Amino acid sequence: SGPFEFLMEIAGLRRIEFDHEKIQIGNIVRFETDPNNGSDPNAIKIMVGDTRIGFVPRILTNQFHSWLNNNRLLHPSLEVDR
Protein backbone atom coordinates (compact mmCIF):
# COMPACT_ATOMS: atom_id res chain seq x y z
CA SER A 1 0.00 0.00 0.00
CA GLY A 2 1.14 3.54 -0.75
CA PRO A 3 1.29 6.72 1.29
CA PHE A 4 -1.87 8.08 2.87
CA GLU A 5 -3.02 10.80 5.26
CA PHE A 6 -4.22 9.77 8.71
CA LEU A 7 -5.87 12.16 11.15
CA MET A 8 -6.56 11.37 14.79
CA GLU A 9 -7.19 13.02 18.12
CA ILE A 10 -4.31 13.17 20.56
CA ALA A 11 -5.09 11.35 23.79
CA GLY A 12 -4.24 13.30 26.96
CA LEU A 13 -3.81 16.62 25.16
CA ARG A 14 -5.99 18.50 27.65
CA ARG A 15 -4.40 16.87 30.73
CA ILE A 16 -0.71 17.21 29.87
CA GLU A 17 0.84 20.54 30.80
CA PHE A 18 3.13 22.19 28.27
CA ASP A 19 3.53 25.63 26.69
CA HIS A 20 0.90 25.52 23.96
CA GLU A 21 2.41 28.67 22.38
CA LYS A 22 5.50 26.67 21.36
CA ILE A 23 3.43 24.20 19.35
CA GLN A 24 2.51 25.35 15.84
CA ILE A 25 0.50 23.90 12.99
CA GLY A 26 2.86 22.06 10.68
CA ASN A 27 5.32 21.12 13.45
CA ILE A 28 6.91 17.76 12.79
CA VAL A 29 5.79 15.23 15.38
CA ARG A 30 7.61 12.12 16.52
CA PHE A 31 6.10 8.93 17.88
CA GLU A 32 8.02 7.16 20.66
CA THR A 33 7.18 3.95 22.44
CA ASP A 34 6.71 4.38 26.20
CA PRO A 35 7.28 0.91 27.72
CA ASN A 36 7.72 2.38 31.23
CA ASN A 37 4.28 3.98 31.17
CA GLY A 38 2.54 2.86 34.37
CA SER A 39 -0.93 3.03 32.82
CA ASP A 40 -0.16 1.26 29.55
CA PRO A 41 3.20 -0.35 28.66
CA ASN A 42 2.12 -0.30 24.97
CA ALA A 43 1.65 3.48 25.05
CA ILE A 44 3.11 5.63 22.29
CA LYS A 45 4.03 9.22 23.13
CA ILE A 46 3.52 12.02 20.63
CA MET A 47 6.44 14.44 20.80
CA VAL A 48 7.17 17.86 19.29
CA GLY A 49 10.87 18.44 19.86
CA ASP A 50 11.47 17.52 23.50
CA THR A 51 7.85 18.21 24.47
CA ARG A 52 5.34 15.41 24.99
CA ILE A 53 1.99 16.70 23.81
CA GLY A 54 0.01 13.50 24.32
CA PHE A 55 -0.38 9.89 23.32
CA VAL A 56 -1.69 7.82 20.45
CA PRO A 57 -5.21 6.70 21.47
CA ARG A 58 -5.05 3.25 23.05
CA ILE A 59 -7.25 1.67 20.40
CA LEU A 60 -4.67 2.62 17.72
CA THR A 61 -1.45 1.59 19.50
CA ASN A 62 -1.16 -1.86 17.87
CA GLN A 63 -1.39 -0.31 14.40
CA PHE A 64 1.13 2.41 15.30
CA HIS A 65 3.56 -0.18 16.70
CA SER A 66 3.36 -1.97 13.34
CA TRP A 67 3.97 1.27 11.43
CA LEU A 68 6.88 2.21 13.71
CA ASN A 69 8.49 -1.22 13.42
CA ASN A 70 8.22 -1.08 9.61
CA ASN A 71 9.30 2.57 9.22
CA ARG A 72 5.93 3.47 7.71
CA LEU A 73 5.51 6.88 9.40
CA LEU A 74 7.23 9.12 6.86
CA HIS A 75 6.22 12.75 7.43
CA PRO A 76 4.03 13.12 10.52
CA SER A 77 3.01 16.73 11.20
CA LEU A 78 0.58 18.55 13.45
CA GLU A 79 -2.75 19.86 12.22
CA VAL A 80 -5.34 21.55 14.40
CA ASP A 81 -9.11 21.34 14.10
CA ARG A 82 -10.77 23.73 16.53
Rounded CA-CA distance 66/81 in Å is 26
> Per-residue pLDDT averaged across 12-31, rounded?
79
pTM score:
0.81
How confident is residue 8, by pLDDT bands cut at 50, 70 and 90? confident
Rounded CA-CA distance 27/59 in Å is 24
How confident is residue 82, by pLDDT bands cut at 50, 70 and 90? very low
Rounded CA-CA distance 28/18 in Å is 17
pLDDT digits (tens, 9 = 90+) for 42-73: 999 999 888 898 999 999 999 999 988 888 77
Rounded CA-CA distance 46/10 in Å is 8
